[in-house]
């Protein structure tokens, strides 16, 4: 009889744990699309967030390597004015079906083109190099935290922290940097392969009340910040245009 009770309570415990896990999974709704990517040739790190119930699916990762066209703002931001694919066509975003849209939105009838950093699926960022041109993982985190003012900074910051950005071949030491290298300029282009992740950034009604009706970060772009960070570099690394790796 004792053995039967032992088995019963063991099964009951597993059922309880399973219920707790299911409830936790339900509470952790993935509500925010977070795109981020690195142009290693130019040392430019960019990102953007959008709601997962907005008019368009802003995911960039499935689109492969993209060519970005840049412009520079007065406060140190690098804006992505254009994104084209391998066929030199402007990147487009498919409309979400009506059942996936936030309340009050009506399904779009046509895909939307990428229209710049302030657009529906816009991305922007900055130069990741340090004051002497060095690049490491910490520089990516500093740049992001200096500029990002969208919804749920912590919920998306952890994906950068866990990434390999600025590690391995992407790490650049001071001796590998040419201080006279040409600076990034308006109209320059670079290649970026984006990563897209889903994050749980809207915890309850209080967070949602901070949004505009168009979704997270729409009152102010999700990449907007307070100005150029102290570590922002002064131009391209010496290996710019050479496949994204330091010179030997």
**DSSP letter assigned to residue 151:** S
Concatenating the DSSP letter of every residue in 181-234 gives PPPP-TT-EEEEEEEEEEE----HHHHHHTSBTTBTT-SS-TT--SS--TT--S
Residues comprising the chain, all counted: 248
* Phi and psi torsions of 169, nearest 5°: -65, -20
pLDDT band at residue 202 using 50, 70 and 90 as cut-offs = confident
* Phi and psi torsions of 119, nearest 5°: -80, 180
In whole angstroms, how far apart are CA 111 and each of 37, 88, 91?
22, 17, 10
Q: What is the mean pLDDT of residues 203-226?
A: 43
Q: What is the mean pLDDT of residues 178-192?
A: 90
Residue with tokens 């010496």: 238
Residue 8 has pLDDT above 50, yes or no: no
pLDDT band at residue 25 using 50, 70 and 90 as cut-offs = very low
CA–CA separation, 70 vs 80, rounded Å? 5
pLDDT band at residue 229 using 50, 70 and 90 as cut-offs = very low
Sign of CA dihedral 95, 96, 102, 105: positive
Range of weakest confidence among 85-94, 195-204, 214-223: 214-223
Please, which residues have CB within 8 angstroms of residue 62's CB and are 6 or more apart in sequence?
196
pLDDT tens-digit map of 105-156: 999 999 999 999 999 899 999 999 988 888 999 999 999 999 887 667 888 9
Contact 94, 56 (CB under 8 A): yes
Surface-to-core class of residue 68, CB atoms within 10 Å of its CB (0-12 exposed, 13-18 middle, 19+ buried): buried
Higher pLDDT, residue 217 or 158: 158
Residue with tokens 């590998």: 176
Q: What is the pLDDT of residue 121?
A: 95
Residue 16 has pLDDT above 70, yes or no: no
């Amino acid at each position: 009889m004792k053995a039967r009770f032992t088995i019963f309570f063991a099964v009951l415990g597993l059922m309880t744990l399973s219920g707790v896990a299911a409830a936790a999974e339900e509470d952790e709704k993935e509500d925010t699309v977070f795109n981020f990517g690195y142009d290693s040739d130019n040392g430019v790190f960019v990102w953007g967030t959008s709601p997962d119930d907005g008019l368009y699916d802003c995911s960039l990762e499935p689109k492969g390597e993209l060519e970005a066209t840049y412009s520079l703002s007065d406060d140190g931001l690098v804006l992505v004015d254009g994104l084209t694919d391998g066929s030199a066509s402007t990147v487009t975003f498919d409309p979400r079906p009506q059942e996936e849209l936030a309340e009050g939105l009506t399904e779009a009838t046509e895909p939307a083109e990428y229209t710049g950093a302030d657009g529906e699926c816009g991305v922007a960022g900055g130069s990741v190099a340090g004051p002497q041109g060095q690049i490491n993982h910490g520089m990516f985190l500093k740049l992001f935290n200096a500029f990002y003012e969208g919804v749920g900074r912590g919920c998306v910051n952890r994906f950068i922290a866990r990434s390999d950005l600025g590690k391995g071949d992407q790490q650049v030491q001071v001796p590998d940097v040419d201080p006279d290298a040409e600076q990034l300029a308006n109209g320059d282009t670079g290649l970026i392969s984006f990563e897209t992740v889903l994050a749980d950034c809207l915890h309850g009604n209080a967070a949602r009340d901070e949004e505009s009706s168009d979704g997270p970060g729409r009152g102010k772009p999700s990449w907007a910040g307070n100005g150029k960070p102290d570590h922002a570099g002064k131009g391209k690394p010496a290996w710019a245009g050479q496949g994204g790796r330091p010179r030997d």
